[in-house]
């Protein structure tokens, strides 16, 4: 087996990107717990700032640009749904109270922060490292392999969709004319060729795995080796302290919205 510290072999990677994949998975889990425990938007915003600090240190802001268009619909959905489902003693307008509005804002921050944390993990961790990290945390090999393979298939499906769209444009189909509903209807026929091409590639992948004896031996060898370094233990210690602070606020009930009723 060849020792291969994949992350450190690539130039231009900062120390966050060089963290062990197991450390990154633990950081992701800690960030989820930190944003899901609190109820008040102030404490959730504090956890969000911690996650954004991690994003800044990882220099992955550019990778998160595509999701900025999702934040506004997510905010409208969260504020619109949770503000009417929750109730409080301080009415504002149309049955919306100050407490329910704060609860809707907190839920928006929770969803947005978890989305950012998950995409940061994918942006800073190659699929090979993420795969071996999942295996090291005792996830069954087929499950870890399927997850890593799914990550690789996402850009392939996108490229397939773009090729099908370009082929339809070459045949004279216009996507820019008409209202948004008409444009959406023109995209619906693309689903059939995209699905068929993806299914064909999946079958070819299955045949290739069978030809290479996938799962024939219970013992596996790996080209990539990962191990914990001092920076990993430091990152875990800092994350543990921050998580302990959020849990302390939760146990002391300082993260509650007074008067909120669900």
pLDDT (tens digit, 9 = 90+) per residue, 75-91? 888 888 877 777 778 77
Measured CA to CA, the distance from residue 236 to residue 27 in angstroms comes to 7
Can you give the pLDDT at residue 162?
82
CA 169 to CA 167: how far, in whole Å? 5
State the pTM of this model.
Answer: 0.76
Return the percentage of the chain with pLDDT > 70, whole number: 92
Per-residue pLDDT band at 30 (split at 50, 70, 90): very high
CA distance 51 to 244: 15
Check pLDDT > 80 for residue 247.
Answer: yes
Residue 52 has pLDDT above 80, yes or no: yes
Whether the predicted pLDDT of 242 surpasses 90? yes
Q: What CA–CA distance (Å, rounded) separates 108 from 75?
A: 6
Phi/psi of residue 92, each to 5°?
-115, -65
The two three-digit tokens of residue 217, written as one number: 């031996």
């Amino acid at each position: 087996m060849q020792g291969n510290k994949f992350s450190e072999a690539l130039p231009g990677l900062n120390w966050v990107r060089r963290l062990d994949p197991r450390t990154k998975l633990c950081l992701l889990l800690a960030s989820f717990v930190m944003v899901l425990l609190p109820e008040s938007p102030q404490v959730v915003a504090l956890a969000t700032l911690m996650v954004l600090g991690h994003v800044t240190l990882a220099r992955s802001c550019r990778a998160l640009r595509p999701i900025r268009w999702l934040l506004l619909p997510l905010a409208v959905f969260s504020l619109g749904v949770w503000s009417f489902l929750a109730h409080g003693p301080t009415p504002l307008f149309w049955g919306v109270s100050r407490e329910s509005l704060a609860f809707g804002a907190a839920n928006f921050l929770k969803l947005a922060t978890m989305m950012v944390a998950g995409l940061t993990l994918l942006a800073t961790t190659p699929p090979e490292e993420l795969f071996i990290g999942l295996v090291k945390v005792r996830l069954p090999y087929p499950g870890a392999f399927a997850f890593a393979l799914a990550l690789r298939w996402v850009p392939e499906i996108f490229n397939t969709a773009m090729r099908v769209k370009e082929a339809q444009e070459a045949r004279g189909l216009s996507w820019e004319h008409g209202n948004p509903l008409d444009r959406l209807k023109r995209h619906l026929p693309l689903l059939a060729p995209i699905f068929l091409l993806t299914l064909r590639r999946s079958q070819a992948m299955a045949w290739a795995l069978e030809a290479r004896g996938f799962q024939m031996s219970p013992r596996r060898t790996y080209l990539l080796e990962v191990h914990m370094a001092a920076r990993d233990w430091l990152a875990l210690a800092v994350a543990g302290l921050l998580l302990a602070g959020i849990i302390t606020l939760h146990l002391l009930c300082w993260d509650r919205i007074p008067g909120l009723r669900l």
